[in-house]
Amino acid sequence: MVLFKKKAKPKVKKGFTEVVWEYTQSLGIAIILALVIKTSIVEAYKIPSGSMEDTLLVGDFLLANKFVYGMRLPIPFVDLRLPAIDEPEPGDIVIFKYPKNPDLNYIKRVVATEGQVVEIKDKVVYVDGEVFPDPPESKHTDSRIIPPGGRTIRDNMPAIKVPKGMLFMMGDNRDNSADSRFWGFLDRRLVLGEAMVIHWSWAPDDNAPDLNLSNPLSFPLLLGYNVWHFPERVRWGRIGNIIE
């Protein structure tokens, strides 16, 4: 029996321009996919303030699920969203655009949704007449109780009903949080996503050198300081924690 071997096709050597174009296409697709994921499914956020202590600390980096509350389609200049899988509920920690300045992202806990009645008596939060349980890691840092009719409604707020399409938000650091007690209800349409997990946590350090663009040596000084203090500045026990 005579076997005939299939003649292999000669390899065509690609030119430099063709190779560059293929790499450019691959890079472009990767960038587009990354942008789609970032703008519509999962996005990373950094905690800049202590308003959610001790649930979330300054320097925590977290991932948020942007799909669950209605994924925004990445189409420029148009606010199109897919139907939401779920709606924000009391107890959820959500990221949203700050109503007073939509360029800023805030993170707070949902206390009440549309139709519910919120009231605060001597620092105790009530929703529909029942005590809203303090989250496990929430705290009060000021033992004083500002009475009704005082200079602020921080500790005593008359009963108010959440309007349709709105949410009432509060920070877990109850005495040090700019939230719905002060700037009003949150429009549901400003909600970006639900906080999921802490993927990195970097403790602030007041002794760390400042980065000064006018001083070229400030960058290597800061880099060297962070490398030297890396083990103690990373909050290893918080990495991977589910946010509740």
Q: What residues are annotated to the active site?
A: 51, 108
Q: Are 105 and 52 in contact (CB under 8 A)?
A: no
Token pair belonging to 71: 């994924």
Site of tokens 């519509």: 40
Q: What is the DSSP letter of 189?
A: G
User: What one-character DSSP code corresponds to residue 242?
Assistant: B
- The three-class DSSP label of residue 99 is coil
Rounded Cα distance between 220 and 174, Å, is 39
- Dihedral of CA 59/65/70/76: which sign? positive
Residue pair 172/53 in contact by the 8 Å Cβ criterion:
yes
Among the listed residues 233, 101, 124, the one whose alpha carbon sits nearest the alpha carbon of residue 178: 101
Query: CB atoms < 10 A from the CB of 100, how many?
Result: 11
Map residue 35 onto helix, strand or coil: helix
DSSP assignment of 166-183 equals: EEEEE-SBTTS--SHHHH
Looking at residue 85, the DSSP 8-state letter turns out to be S
